Amino acid sequence: MDYQDFKDSLSQDSPPETVSEPLKALWYAAKDDWEAAHNIAQSKEGTPVYDHLHAYLHRVEGDTWNAGYWYKRAGKSVFKGSLQEEWEALAHAML
């Protein structure tokens, strides 16, 4: 699956079964299901990609302190662009 296929899947009612759990979380985030996305991010705390996703989700929520904590746990700098730009960067990195 490439980025465009993943974006196109957002018109479906459920995420593609063939993608990773972090990508499923991004899919849920794009569909405004923060809770489902957050549950996935929390499922493997301590794993950098999950922690980075967790940071992004707290940024979406508007909790910058908590987002900063998770960026640090992921070993990443706080993202300076828009939420959409970060979503796209995460998707590209995970695909």
**C-beta of residue 44 within 8 angstroms of C-beta of residue 50:** yes
Give, for 49, the enclosing helix (H) or strand (E).
Answer: helix 48-61
Average pLDDT, integer, range 14-39: 97
Q: Which domain holds residue 42?
A: 3-8+20-94
Structural domain count, the chain: 1
pTM: 0.95
List all residues 6 or more positions away from 66 whose beta carbon is below 8 Å from its beta carbon.
58
Question: Would 13 be classed as within a structural domain?
Answer: no
**Confidence band for 27, pLDDT divided at 50, 70 and 90:** very high
Question: Would 15 be classed as within a structural domain?
Answer: no
